[in-house]
Amino acid sequence: MTKKFWTHPLDLHEIRSRIASSLDLKGLASCARVSQDWNSSFTPPLYSSIDLSEDGPSIESVERNKHLIKRLKIQTSIYEKLSLTSAVDNVVSIIVVNSVLTTLDLTGNKIGHNEAQVLSEAIRTNSTLTTLNLEHNSIGGNGAQALSEALKTNSTLTALNLNNNSIGGNGAQALSEALKTNSTLTTLNLRNNSIGENGGEALAEALKTNSTLTTLDLWGNSIGDNGVQALAEALKRWRRHSRPARL
């Protein structure tokens, strides 16, 4: 007589994966602690999208599972603590160079040009990041210069938000040089950066050769009549090439 062995449904990875897709973060965390087999099913979705905050996972657990993180947002309170321990450069750099991260949100973290330089170095070699949000920081012209150098070699970033970063005309000119060769960026937000007429004219010049950018936000930049005229000419070129654009 052949003895039949009954397999519990939760011993099957396919079943656990289906259950994992319907659980909230608390449920995923509870299931992940049950066993190593369960951990492999429930931990990946638990760390797929991380909001690093006072109520979120610890820095240690994030570093330990950084290979699973696809979307990461670091809240101001946590970023300030990292800054106090002088570990922020290493943490940001390590996370950005992982192999699956697609979205990094560092909104409102008082990031200056030094931190922007660290990010830029990581972006040069990263091959998965598609969205970088740095709005409401303080990268300045030097930070914009560093990011522009990264954009000249990066081939995956499609959206960059630098709203309210005080990059000025020099920063806009640096980014313009990057746009002349970059072939992946489709959305660039430069709101409230005081780029002035020179910055507006430099961006307009870049748009004559750039073939991928579809959205450029320049609200609140005092680009003046000359800047407006230059950009208007660039928009005419966009229309002639039948490329949708929002300026």
HEC letters along 134-194:
CCCCCCHHHHHHHHHHHHCCCCCCCEEECCCCCCHHHHHHHHHHHHCCCCCCCEEECCCCC
Q: Which position has the token pair 């979705």?
A: 45
Region 91-114 average pLDDT = 84
In the chain, the amino acid numbered 140 is G
Q: Which of 145, 155, 214 is nearest to 183 (CA)?
A: 155
Residue 17 vs residue 88, higher pLDDT: 17
Q: Which of 108, 175, 159 is nearest to 138 (CA)?
A: 108
- 234: pLDDT strictly greater than 50: yes
- 46: pLDDT strictly greater than 80: yes
Name the band, by pLDDT with cuts 50, 70 and 90, for residue 88: low
133-192 pLDDT, tens digit each: 999 999 999 999 999 999 999 999 999 999 999 999 999 999 999 999 999 999 999 999
- 241: pLDDT strictly greater than 80: no
* pLDDT at residue 87 in the model: 56
Say if pTM beats, i.e. exceeds, 0.75.
yes
Residue 239 vs residue 229, higher pLDDT: 229
Phi, psi of 103, rounded to the nearest 5 degrees: -135, 130
- 236: pLDDT strictly greater than 90: no
Name the band, by pLDDT with cuts 50, 70 and 90, for residue 34: confident
